[in-house]
Amino acid sequence: MTLFKELNLDQQILRAVEQMGFTEATPIQEKVIPFVKEGKDLIGQAQTGTGKTAAFGIPLLENIDTEEKVTQGLVLAPTRELANQVAEELNKLGRFKGIEALPIYGGQEIGRQIKALKRRPQIIVATPGRFMDHMRRKTIRPQTLKMIVLDEADEMLSMGFIEDIETILAEVPKERQTLLFSATMPKRLQSVTKNFMKDPEVVAIKSKGLTVSSIEQRYIEVPEKQKLDTLRYLLDIDPPELSIIFGRTKRRVDELSEALSQVGYAVEGIHGDLRQERRDKVLRKFKKGTINILVATDVAARGLDVTGVTHVYNFDLPQDSESYVHRIGRTGRAGEKGVAFTFVTPREMEHLKDIEATTKSKMKRQSLPTYAEAMAGRYQQAIDQLRETVRKGGYEDLDEAAKGLLDEYGAETLVAAALKMATKEPDDKNIKLTEEASLRPKKSSFRGKSGNNKGNKGRGRNNKFSFDKQGRKGGRDRKARR
């Protein structure tokens, strides 16, 4: 165990770190900080929730020359939310050194961004698309950059940003420091490290599997039609303080959040089709605890750092094991405990086994929660609520009414009725989700007259002309491979 005090940090940075409440460095911070301070290129292979941002952020800030009024550092991130979050943390860490980290991403008014860029922030945290846009407009001059960080590089790869990243890397000075962080190291990423990094140090934080042990992983085999009830039962039996529910499509997220809010849960949905303002607002409400349930597509799976998420629900099984790892990694952060439930339809059981195999972890099977258990949970919540109300006091003006009611009904009846009143509505509302979100196409799905289905039967996964990770066929890239 290493203390930040022992890491030879700049006084101003150390002060910020301590003010943020950190005294001990996490394993990845302990290893990464010295290398980066020396100016070395580095590949960091670490799972989420390990303190990665500070691991590259602290030395990045240290290496910034505040005398020079130019942009010196660039962090590229896969999603807008992540860019925002990283910038926020860098601003906190760099506060006393007087460093500004500016988030730059799409969906924001470009004029305002250009104005902000004129302040010459020392660090830019960007999503690739908008950064490229600024490069073309010459509102960002990549020539002044000295340090580049590729955060969640495997995600940027699987989202198809890899060519953008290569374009950007080709534009920045050769004399620079490049850091790459990634949970996994697919081949295509290795070629980036080979072409654009100089003799990088590799720092891997060892762990048995890809998942964090503080997360309890369970799965429930549940038919598509019973998913919504099952979810509601789970939420009532073991109410989460803060939870994220992942759905497979944007439409699905809309429907699910609508359905849950109709039956009284404090919930909002978030996905990429919402306007950026809306996305930011929902996230703020979730972080503040105004809502305790966030229904999301995989937009929220990556890097999103909200402390105190106690439960993650995979309402729909994730597409691949990487998505699974990222999703459940939203809980159990910073060593806290978390539970991840995964819903699996009977026909998806095989896919679940694949995920277990790749992540080298075992999910515990759990049987379907029952209506009776859910009701017991709802009553328990009502009891807690009543206790809390008694504890808080401030109901003296009801004394007279209380006396009258007592004469009329007697104590037991009244308390029971009060509890009943505070109990969440039972399932009288008939809410349904229109979309089925099973991974394999439905048998009945009408595919036109190609008749290909027959010919493909039984081959599936073993087909050697399969797609690569990005889902592209070989040779169809815009640029030829080098």
Binding site for DNA (CB under 7 A): 78-81, 105-108, 110, 126-133, 136, 158-161, 248-252, 271-273, 297-299, 319, 441, 467, 471
Side chain identity, residue 99: I
Element containing residue 326 per DSSP (H, E): helix 321-328
Instruction: Provide the b/e sequence for 94-127 (b: ≥16 CB within 10 Å).
Output: bbbbebbbbbbbbebeeeebeebbeeebbbbbbb
Strand partners for 186? none
Q: How far is the CB of 440 from DNA (least distance, A)?
A: 9
Q: How far is the CB of 349 from DNA (least distance, A)?
A: 18
Q: Considering only CA atoms, which of 169, 165, 148, 147 is closest in space to residue 156?
A: 165
- Please provide residue 242's backbone torsions phi and psi, each rounded to the nearest 5 degrees: -145, 130
Question: By C-beta, is 9 or 270 nearer to DNA?
Answer: 270
Q: Are 256 and 229 in contact (CB under 8 A)?
A: no
Q: How far is the CB of 266 from DNA (least distance, A)?
A: 21
Question: By C-beta, is 129 or 223 nearer to DNA?
Answer: 129
Q: How far is the CB of 283 from DNA (least distance, A)?
A: 12
Give the whole-angstrom CA distance, residue 360 versus residue 99.
41
Question: By C-beta, is 51 or 269 nearer to DNA?
Answer: 269
Q: How far is the CB of 128 from DNA (least distance, A)?
A: 6
Q: How far is the CB of 97 from DNA (least distance, A)?
A: 28
Question: By C-beta, is 248 or 378 nearer to DNA?
Answer: 248
Question: Which tokens in the block code for residue 334?
Answer: 């910073």
Give the whole-angstrom CA distance, residue 325 versus residue 355.
9
Question: By C-beta, is 27 or 272 nearer to DNA?
Answer: 272
Element containing residue 74 per DSSP (H, E): strand 73-76
Q: Are 146 and 73 in contact (CB under 8 A)?
A: yes
Q: 352 Cβ partners below 8 Å, 6+ apart?
A: 219, 317, 342, 344, 363
Q: How far is the CB of 272 from DNA (least distance, A)?
A: 2
Question: By C-beta, is 78 or 377 nearer to DNA?
Answer: 78
Side chain identity, residue 202: V
Q: How far is the CB of 271 from DNA (least distance, A)?
A: 4
Question: By C-beta, is 93 or 283 nearer to DNA?
Answer: 283
Question: By C-beta, is 139 or 385 nearer to DNA?
Answer: 139
